[in-house]
Amino acid sequence: MTHSYYVVMQDFDRIGLEAVVQPEITRREVISRLRTREYKNVEFIHFICDGTVTDVTEEIEREAAVLEDAA
């Protein structure tokens, strides 16, 4: 069984950093939350799959921006 999830790290200035880790959130949902600004001041987005960490920040932010421009 493959375990995978996204980690979205947000910077809240004086309050500090907060990681959003919800295994049920899909890539599509992460992109949607970026587009609606639910996720703001994102420091990084990591995709974790079977213990391997991949930094997907740029590609997901780019995809969110492309979708936003098309809307």
Structure confidence by residue, pLDDT tens digits, 1-44: 678 999 999 999 999 999 999 999 999 999 999 999 999 999 99
CA–CA distance, 55 with 25 (Å, rounded to integer)? 16
Q: In three state form, how does the secondary structure of 2-67 look?
A: CCEEEEEEEECHHHCEEEEECCCCCHHHHHHHHHCCCCCCEEEEEEEECCEEEECHHHHHHHHHHH
Q: How much is the pTM?
A: 0.87
Confidence of residue 69 (pLDDT cuts 50, 70, 90): low
* Rg of the chain in Å (alpha carbons): 12
Domain boundaries, the chain: 4-70
